[in-house]
Amino acid sequence: MDFTKGDFGAGFTWGVASSSYQTEGAHDADGKGKSVWDVFGDTRGKIHENQKGNVACDFYNRYPDDLKLMARMKIPAFRFSLSWSRILPQGIKTVNPAGIEYYHRLIDHCLALGIEPWITLYHWDLPWELEKKGGWTNRDIIGWFGDYVELCIRHFGSKVKHWMILNEPMVYTGTGYFLGLHAPGRRGLNSFLAAIHHAAMCQAEGGRIVRSLLPEAKVGTTFSCSLVEPYKNHIADSQAALRVDALLNRLFVEPLAGLGYPVQDLKFLRRLETYIKDGDEGKLAFNMDFIGVQNYTREIVTRSRFIPFMWAKVIRAGKRNVETTDMKWEVYPEGIYHMLHKFSKYENFKELIVTENGAAFPDTIVNGRIHDEKRKAFLESAIGQVLKAKQEGVRVNGYFIWSFTDNFEWAEGYKPRFGLVYIDYKTQQRIIKDSGDWFSRFLGNDCI
């Protein structure tokens, strides 16, 4: 490693990330309502080995010890999400006092340990009662979500300085409302298009609400992204890669930046006109204080005559004879460098924060230790790529590892492990991996 933490400057934020459904468990405790993932997990065949997040990491009960471990590792910032259905069991109106109190305790505990909380308002766990009314396909969600955001800011805004509106809207709309691979398991173009537009409206409206109620805070939102490259250097594959890039990387950031949807490169987006009402175009845009960039891999694309709308096919990493992670993604830490440069071109956002970056590899306990050299090498290389981008003038000012602990990885269940800290799900024992030890020492910790 030929760089140090000091090379990034004193104002650079270092942290780890998680989300409510993936870690909290306590799925029906203390008045919490069902989320779409609670219901999805009860449907056989949807999740690896029919696993579910009912207990997950038991973070709801174990957060004091987990935060103590985080403080011991000298990690200064913690990104986590609020569970909408823990706060509003029906999604609207009736507030659950126990849910509000839980997040007050969590935030207070972070602050007492010197850990800065960075809060994501929506990380995929939509209240089931709202999904029964159409969820993200129902335009009323703009109002439902706005009320939820306002409630959270009024309760927690005095304690929290950094807020993220949505986590990866392309993923939860695409896999949840088009492919049916994630909750709520819907399929079809019309559901997808409606969800796209309403999520895009909500990310801007949420930003406006946070800024109006908490002008001194920093508000942003996060985007999944992957470097997209053509399989062969000819026009058909290049145009296919352009279409995939528009879908994966530009679909939500460009309307937020005031550029509108990338209709020119994705012709099927013209059908969004069905869902766009008078005045919507102006409401899609909002100048976020920061954009959260979340990158794990890259995609190689070729033209396909057999995939409608996109006319493009992603060539999976397993067929390209490249090293892969447990998610079957190409090991490509250089991707974060390219994506930071890409997002830096949207000049109306003040700064970029890497809000997720990491890799899942198999972990084996040997004499009480976990020697996860591949994860450590990935993180070290990726952090070096972030520094390279920063030195080239990209306004990146933070880096959060996904994730602090192993957790429930959605449709993949508990098999993939991203954590710096290993969890034995049978006993809930925590073990700091070598990657966690390395990151702690990188941050300046002499001994953990």
**Taking the mean position of all CA atoms in its chain, how far away is CA 446?**
31
Q: What is the CATH number of the domain that holds 432?
A: 3.20.20.80
Token pair 């990657």 in the structure block, residue: 435
**Does a structural domain hold residue 314?**
no
Of 168, 254, 330, 409, the catalytic one is 168
In order of 102, 259, 268, 306, the CA distances from 263 in angstroms are 43, 10, 7, 21
pTM of structure: 0.97
The percent of residues above 70 in pLDDT, for the chain, comes to 99
Tokens of 243: 């279409």
Residue 79 lies in a domain: yes
Would residue 239 count as lying in a domain?
Answer: no
Q: Does residue 222 contact residue 120 with C-beta atoms inside 8 Å?
A: yes
Q: What is the number of domains present in the chain?
A: 1
Any idea of the CA torsion for 419, 422, 428, 429, to the nearest 10 degrees?
-140
**CA–CA gap between residue 106 and residue 72 (Å, rounded):** 17
Read off the pLDDT of residues 382-419 as tens digits, 9 standing for 90 and up: 999 999 999 999 999 999 999 999 999 999 999 999 99
Instruction: Tell me, yes or no, if 380 is annotated catalytic.
Output: no
Confirm whether 83 is domain-assigned. yes
Residue 259 confidence (pLDDT): 97
- pLDDT score of 446: 78
For residue 225, give the H/E element and its range: strand 218-230
Average pLDDT over residues 357-361: 98
pLDDT at 195 over 90: yes
Over range 5-13, report the average pLDDT.
96
Residue 264 counted as domain residue: no
- 197 found inside a domain: yes
Range of the domain at 386: 5-228+288-298+326-442
Per-residue model confidence (pLDDT) at position 410: 98
**What is the predicted pLDDT for the residue at 447?**
65
Q: What is the pLDDT of residues 105-163, one digit of tens each?
A: 999 999 999 999 999 999 999 999 999 999 999 999 999 999 999 999 999 999 999 99
**Rounded CA separation 283/79 (Å):** 27
pLDDT at 445: 82
Which residues does residue 140 pair with via DSSP β-bridges, in sequence order? none
Tell me if residue 323 is catalytic: no
Does 44 fall in a domain?
yes
- Average pLDDT over all residues of the chain: 97
Residue 143 belongs to some domain of the structure: yes
The span from the CA of 249 to the CA of 337, in Å, is: 14
Pair of tokens at residue 173: 């709309």
Give the number of other CB atoms < 10 A from CB of residue 279: 7
Give the tokens for residue 162: 């950094």
In angstroms, what CA-CA distances link 190 with 137, 220, 272?
9, 28, 9
